[in-house]
C-alpha cells in the first residue's frame, strides 16, 4: 500500500526518514519572490530629522520579473522617490529586504555599492540638467560611464544606443543644443551605457510637454524591448500608465493597487484594477470606497462561497439592540 509520503527505495516501499521529510518541506515552499528580478519584502524607510520621524516606506512588498516594464504611480509624498532611491543603491532602507538581480541591497559594502551603481542599474532623473554634463556632447556623455568603469569607451556602442533611442542625430551636440525630450533620450542612453540589468526613471517626463513625453516614453519602451532591460518608471503621466502591462499604485509607503492590461479575445485592451494582498493578508481598501460607506477603524468580514464581504461596523437590523 502507498501512503502519500511513502518513498520508493528499490522495490520496497518504506516510510520517509525525518531528513527526507525536511527536504520535501523545503522544496514545497519556495522563498517569497525567489525568482523575481526585483524583490522588496516588507521594506521600511524612516527619515529622522530633528527628532521628527517620517515613515516614507511602511512595509512595502513588490515583485518585478526580469524584462518587465512597469509604471509606478501615486500621490506626491507617497514614497515613490524613496523606493527608487533604495533600488538605485543611493539610499539604504531602515529594515526589510531589497534584492535586485541577485544583489542584497541591505548587505552591500561601500565597494559593492559602487559596483552595483556602475554595472547593475542605470538611473534617469526628472531634471534634465542632472542627467548630462553640460560641457560634453551627447556621445561623450554616453561614453563617460564606460570610461569611469575602466572599460574601453567604444564610440560605436555609444552611437548605437543613441540611434536606438532615436537621437543619433544629436551625437555631436551639447545639452544646450538639444530639446528637453532629446536630452532625456540621451540620458536613457547614458543610463544604458554599461549594459545594466535594470533602469530606473523618476518622473522622466515631468518637465516635458506631451509630444516630448511621448518620444521619451517610446525610447524607454524600445530599450526595454530591444535590450531586454527591466524598466521601472515613476510617473504622473496617465498616458504612460496606459502603455505598460502593469501599473503599481503606491499609497502611504505601501503598494496598494495594481492595474493589469491585457488583450481580450476580441483584441481590445482591457485594464483591470486589483488591490494588492500582501503575504500576511493585509490589503488597502480604496479611500473613496471606505468614505462612501463611512467605514472607519473596524469592518465586519464575511466569507462567502466565492468572495469576501466587507461591511461597516454599525449595528445591524435584527441584532437585538
Ligand atoms: N530626505 C528626507 N528627509 C526627511 N523626509 C523625507 C526625505 N525624503 C522624503 N521624505 C518624506 O518621505 C515621504 C515620501 O517622500 P517621497 O519618496 O519623495 O515621495 P514621492 O516621490 O512619492 O513624492 C514624504 O513624506 C517626504 O516628505
Ligand atoms: Mg518623487
pLDDT tens track for 151-197: 877 889 999 999 999 999 999 999 999 999 999 999 999 999 999 99
Q: How confident is the model at residue 284 (pLDDT cuts 50, 70, 90)?
A: confident
Ligand 1: residues whose CB is within 6 Å? 47, 49, 54, 56, 74, 76-82
Best probe residue, ligand 1, of 51, 52, 77, 249 (max atoms within 8 Å of C-beta): 77
Q: Which regions of 74-182 does DSSP assign to beta strands (E)?
A: 95-100, 103-104, 121-124
Q: Which three cell numbers stand for residue 2?
A: 502507498
Block residue for cell numbers 476580441: 266
Phi-psi region of 42 (alpha: psi -120 to 50; beta: other; left: phi over 0): left
Buried b (16+ CB within 10 A) or exposed e, 249-260: bbbbbbbbbbbe
Q: Which three cell numbers stand for residue 200?
A: 530606473
pLDDT at 283 over 50: yes
Ligand closest to the CA atom of residue 202: 2
- Ligand 1 atom with the smallest distance to the CA of 78 is 22
Expressed in angstroms and rounded, the spacing between residue 80 Cα and the centre of ligand 2 is 6
Q: Which three cell numbers stand for residue 39?
A: 524583490
Ligand closest to the CA atom of residue 249: 1
Which amino acid residue places its CA nearest to atom 5 of ligand 1?
47
Alpha-carbon distance values, 58 to 64, 106, 144, 264, 312 (Å): 19, 16, 37, 36, 25
Best probe residue, ligand 1, of 47, 52, 201 (max atoms within 8 Å of C-beta): 47
Block residue for cell numbers 530639446: 179
Give the helix/strand (H/E) hosting 199: strand 198-202
Pick the range with the lowest mean pLDDT from 15-19, 42-46, 218-222, 272-276. Answer: 15-19
Q: How confident is the model at residue 309 (pLDDT cuts 50, 70, 90)?
A: very high
Which amino acid residue places its CA nearest to atom 4 of ligand 1?
47
Domain with CATH 3.40.50.300 in the chain: 39-275
Give the total residue count for the chain. 321
Topology adopted by domain 39-275: Rossmann fold (3.40.50)
Expressed in angstroms and rounded, the spacing between residue 58 Cα and the centre of ligand 1 is 12
- Predicted model pTM: 0.84
**Alpha-carbon span 62 to 84, nearest angstrom:** 12
- Ligand 1 atom with the smallest distance to the CA of 82 is 17
pLDDT digits (tens, 9 = 90+) for 193-221: 999 999 999 999 988 998 999 999 999 99
Looking at the chain, the whole-number percentage of residues with pLDDT higher than 90 is 65
Which amino acid residue places its CA nearest to atom 18 of ligand 1?
81
Best probe residue, ligand 1, of 40, 50, 54 (max atoms within 8 Å of C-beta): 54
**Alpha-carbon span 173 to 218, nearest angstrom:** 21
Position 308 scores a pLDDT of: 94
Enumerate long-range contacts of 281-288, CB under 8 Å, 24 or more apart.
Answer: 284/251, 284/254, 284/256, 284/257, 285/310, 286/257
Work out the burial of residue 16: count CB atoms within 10 Å of its CB; fewer than 13 is exposed, 13-18 middle, 19 or more buried: middle
**Alpha-carbon span 260 to 18, nearest angstrom:** 43
Contact in structure between 254 and 43 (CB atoms under 8 Å): no
Q: How confident is the model at residue 298 (pLDDT cuts 50, 70, 90)?
A: very high
Position 321 scores a pLDDT of: 47
Q: Which three cell numbers stand for residue 265?
A: 479575445
Expressed in angstroms and rounded, the spacing between residue 81 Cα and the centre of ligand 1 is 7
pLDDT at 47 over 90: yes
pLDDT at 233 over 70: yes
Q: Which three cell numbers stand for residue 270?
A: 482591457
Amino acid at each position: 500500500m502507498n501512503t502519500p509520503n511513502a518513498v520508493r527505495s528499490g522495490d520496497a516501499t518504506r516510510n520517509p526518514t525525518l531528513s527526507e521529510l525536511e527536504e520535501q518541506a523545503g522544496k514545497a515552499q519556495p522563498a517569497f519572490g525567489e525568482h523575481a528580478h526585483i524583490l522588496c519584502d516588507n521594506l521600511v524607510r524612516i527619515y529622522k530629522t530633528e527628532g521628527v520621524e517620517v515613515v516614507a516606506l511602511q512595509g512595502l512588498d513588490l515583485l518585478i520579473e526580469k524584462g518587465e516594464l512597469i509604471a509606478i504611480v501615486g500621490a506626491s509624498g507617497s514614497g515613490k522617490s524613496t523606493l527608487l532611491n533604495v533600488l538605485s543603491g543611493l539610499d539604504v532602507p531602515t529594515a526589510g529586504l531589497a534584492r535586485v538581480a541577485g544583489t542584497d541591497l541591505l548587505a552591500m559594502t561601500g565597494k559593492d555599492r559602487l559596483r552595483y551603481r556602475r554595472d547593475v542599474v542605470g538611473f534617469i532623473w526628472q531634471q534634465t540638467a542632472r542627467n548630462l554634463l553640460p560641457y560634453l556632447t551627447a556621445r561623450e556623455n554616453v561614453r563617460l560611464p564606460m570610461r569611469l568603469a575602466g572599460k574601453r569607451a567604444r564610440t560605436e556602442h555609444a552611437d548605437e544606443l543613441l540611434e536606438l533611442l532615436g537621437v543619433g542625430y544629436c551625437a555631436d551636440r551639447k545639452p544646450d543644443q538639444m530639446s528637453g525630450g532629446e536630452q532625456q533620450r540621451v540620458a536613457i542612453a547614458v543610463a544604458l551605457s554599461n549594459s545594466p540589468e535594470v533602469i530606473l526613471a523618476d518622473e522622466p517626463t515631468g518637465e516635458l510637454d506631451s509630444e516630448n513625453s511621448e518620444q521619451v516614453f517610446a525610447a524607454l519602451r524600445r530599450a526595454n524591448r530591444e535590450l531586454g532591460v527591466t524598466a521601472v518608471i515613476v510617473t504622473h503621466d496617465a498616458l504612460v500608465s496606459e502603455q505598460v502591462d502593469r501599473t503599481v499604485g503606491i499609497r502611504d509607503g505601501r503598494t496598494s493597487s495594481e492595474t493589469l492590461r491585457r488583450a481580450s479575445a476580441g483584441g481590445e485592451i482591457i485594464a483591470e484594477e486589483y488591490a494588492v494582498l500582501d503575504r500576511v493578508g493585509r490589503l488597502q481598501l480604496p479611500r473613496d470606497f471606505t468614505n462612501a460607506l463611512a467605514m472607519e477603524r473596524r469592518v465586519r468580514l464575511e466569507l462567502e462561497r466565492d468572495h469576501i464581504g466587507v461591511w461597516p461596523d454599525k449595528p445591524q437590523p435584527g441584532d437585538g439592540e
